[in-house]
A and B are shown apart, each in its own frame.
Chain A
């Protein structure tokens, strides 16, 4: 089945120790997104890629970076995690065309990050 895969599902890191979360998709979607979701809150968009074009949200901290080496993979790098970065990180994909801009986003299962 076509899907969005996130690894690992649970990640524990130490304060200040860089961590990378990964996302892959078999849907061949041209847009990939990273969301941060803290407990009992709505998902918050960090950034997205439209093909290779990176689009950062204005309030995303510089501590968060992303890479998309090809259509299928996208990575979230947290350079120096703080306690406030503990959250669920959701990857999503969608296919976007000028004629069909409202296609739904398909989400992965998420990676729950704990910062010690």
Chain B
């Protein structure tokens, strides 16, 4: 089973509107971290926001917020007031810590959602 599922291969949003990018995850660990990254066409992966499994508050960073629903195992990214520069691929990722060793540092990425902002 996939550990990170992003069901929206592509999304369109009107400039200045809000958009939600979906992410569900699968883990048996109690302690884990969830990340969202943005990848413009230039290729660089840009860290956007982080949510820890024990964090009670939803994470927010400027126009980005993470809608964390632990029981549903979802960690959706909400972008408010979309801008043309938000057009990019968005990746949801998870780091688990249920075991020691090399694997505990690995980020598992979803397949990504391509967001296009329409003027």
State which of B35, B44, B52, B97 has its C-beta within 8 Å of the C-beta of A109. B44
Known: A31-B105, A88-B43. A42 touches B52 (CB 8 A): no
Once the chains bind, are A96 and B105 in contact (CB under 8 Å)?
yes
Docked Cα-Cα span, A74 to B47, in Å, equals 21
State which of B101, B107, B110 has its C-beta within 8 Å of the C-beta of A105. B107
Q: How far does the Cβ of A32 sit from chain B's closest Cβ, in whole Å?
A: 10
B14 at the interface (CB under 8 A from A): no
Q: In the complex, A110 Cα to B52 Cα: how many Å?
A: 27
Number of residues on chain B facing chain A (CB within 8 A) = 25
Known: A55-B102, A90-B45, A110-B43. A42 touches B95 (CB 8 A): no
User: What is the count of residue pairs linking A and B with beta-carbon distances less than 8 angstroms?
Assistant: 61
CB pair A102–B42 under 8 Å, yes or no, is: no
Residue B7 at the chain A interface, CB threshold 8 Å: no
Q: Which chain A residues lie closer than 8 Å to B43 at the CB level?
A: 88, 90, 109-110, 112
**A48 CA to B112 CA in the complex, in Å?**
22
The 5 closest A-B pairs by CB, nearest first: A55-B102, A102-B33, A107-B45, A42-B109, A110-B43
Residues of B whose CB lies within 8 Å of any CB of A are 32-33, 35, 37, 42-47, 50, 52, 91, 95, 97, 101-102, 104-107, 109-112
Binding site for B on A (CB under 8 A): 31, 33, 41-43, 45, 48, 50, 55-57, 88, 90, 92, 94, 96, 101-102, 104-110, 112
